[in-house]
Amino acid sequence: MHSFIESFRSAILSIRAHGFRSFLTTLGIVIGVASVIAVVSVVQGLSYSINSEFENLGSNTLTVRAHTPLKEALKGKIAKITLQDYQDIKERINDIDAITPIVTGFGKIREVKFGSQIEVSNVIGTNSNYRSVNSLYMSEGRFLTFSDEKKRRRVAVIGQSLITTLSLPESPIGEYIQVGGEWFKIIGVTESKGEIFGIDQDNILFIPFSTIQSLIGRQSSFQMDIQLSLTNLDSLTPVQKRISNILRTNHDLAPEQPDDFKIQTAEQLRSSFTSIIDSITIVLGGIVSISLLVGGIGIMNIMLVSVTERTREIGICKAIGAKRHHILLQFLIESVVLSLFGGLIGILIGFGLGSFAAAIIPNFPAANVPLWAIAVAFGFSAAIGVLFGIIPAAKAANLKPIDALRYE
């Protein structure tokens, strides 16, 4: 322990004696760690935001959507979830707490107009259960009701962005807008949800499911998703199996044919996005971490120079009794301290760069640096110090005292 403390003290004194050179030596590590932390903080901030969005969907929520296998898609087939599928699931499964159909408008139905202002919006046809299944909250007014659905009322609930883009009054309740060329009365405004992946989640408009059916005209190409929440989380797996059986029967799928639909829980949807984000983090992190290797080579070069400069000092130390491992430890600690110092500065700069990048991108989630990223940055910095410091340290430790003393 005494040997380690003395080696550490000697390494610190050596670094302080050549402060500017030490800083330049660590600059490669600083840049490498800062790049990695900046990338990770931005991507993980986005991941944290996505996970927060999925928290709105409870663990007992299922989403049913069409899925065309590649082999079938190549044949020109398109899978669909139909109104009959929705009715069968609604009527034949008892453990459902709330179920809602979701139809996204297309073509002219996406055009929303107020006065001379026209906006292409995400128009969704659904029912009153959508609010409870998706934990949707209102800023003012009300959401769609069973009565709106039953009477096919021309009413609409809008997102916050449409107030601005359509130049609506600050309180637009009671105003009339055109959706797909039809007049609709605004009855509610949802709370703002911001942007995700550059998509404005508040550029949205809800109308009754039966109303959007009449706008589409009940065409055979009618496509929809289904969302439902369960009364009991324990029934999640059995309900998935029963829904699968209903859909396979309705779609006339043979036993050997793959499903042309997907039944996903909120956790599965979250896992899919998390997997994508993690892959992006690894790829980008791997690319920018190349600069860490460059920084490590810089440390090795400077440490080799330091060994050459201190050859006589090493000879004196060995002449008065210093062992090989004392010299090895001293130079190795110096290399590791330089790397860790660069890693600490890099973490601080990286988080600052990540926060700045997230701040200048409109409505982008705040940067977030997980503890594992800090641990990996420190660990990698230490590993760089050991890896690239071992050669200079070994060279110093292997010097013969008589040769070192005679060196000029």
pLDDT tens-place string over residues 342-385: 888 888 888 888 888 777 766 666 777 777 777 877 777 777 77
Residue whose entry in the numeric block shows the structure tokens 């001293």: 330
Residue whose entry in the numeric block shows the structure tokens 């709106």: 148
107: which DSSP letter?
A: G
Q: Which two tokens stand for residue 2?
A: 């005494």
Q: Are 338 and 385 in contact (CB under 8 A)?
A: yes
pLDDT tens digit string along 141-198? 999 999 998 999 999 999 999 999 999 998 999 999 999 889 999 999 999 887 765 6
* pLDDT over threshold 90, residue 294: no
The whole-number pLDDT of residue 143 equals: 94
Q: Which two tokens stand for residue 381?
A: 């910095």
The whole-number pLDDT of residue 133 equals: 85
Q: Does 214 or 366 have the greater pLDDT score?
A: 214
Average pLDDT, the chain: 79
CA pair distance 148, 145, nearest whole angstrom: 5
Residues with Cβ within 8 Å of residue 79, at least 6 apart in sequence: 66, 67, 68, 72, 251, 260, 261
Q: Does 394 or 206 have the greater pLDDT score?
A: 206
Distance of CA 407 to the CA centre of its chain: 57
The whole-number pLDDT of residue 155 equals: 95
Where b means 16+ CB within 10 Å and e means fewer, 181-210 reads eeebebbbbbeebbbbeeebbbbbbbbbbb
> In the chain, pLDDT over 90 holds for what percent of residues?
21
CA pair distance 80, 65, nearest whole angstrom: 8
Closest by alpha carbon to 205, among 232, 185, 235, 234? 185
Residues with Cβ within 8 Å of residue 240, at least 6 apart in sequence: 62, 263
The whole-number pLDDT of residue 32 equals: 79
Q: What is the arithmetic mean of pLDDT over 277-305? A: 71
Neighbours of 106 (CB within 10 A): 12
pLDDT tens digit string along 239-274? 889 999 999 999 888 888 888 888 887 666 666 667
Radius of gyration of the chain (CA): 32
Angle between helix axes 324-360 and 290-309 (nearest 10 degrees) is: 140
For the chain, give every domain's residue range: 2-53+276-406, 61-264
Q: Does 309 or 333 have the greater pLDDT score?
A: 333
- HSE (side-chain half, CA atoms, 13 Å) at 167: 6
Spell out the alpha helix ranges (H) of 171-265. 209-216, 236-250
Pairing of strands 61-66, 261-265: antiparallel
Q: What is the arithmetic mean of pLDDT over 311-315? A: 64
Pairing of strands 261-265, 195-196: unpaired
CA angle (113 as vertex; 108, 116 as ends), nearest 5: 125
For 125, the 3-state DSSP assignment is strand
CA pair distance 212, 210, nearest whole angstrom: 6
Q: Report the DSSP beta bridge partners of residue 63.
A: 227, 264
CA pair distance 190, 202, nearest whole angstrom: 8
The whole-number pLDDT of residue 144 equals: 94
53-67, 216-230, 307-321, range with greatest mean pLDDT: 216-230
CA pair distance 122, 305, nearest whole angstrom: 64
Q: What is the arithmetic mean of pLDDT over 305-321? A: 65
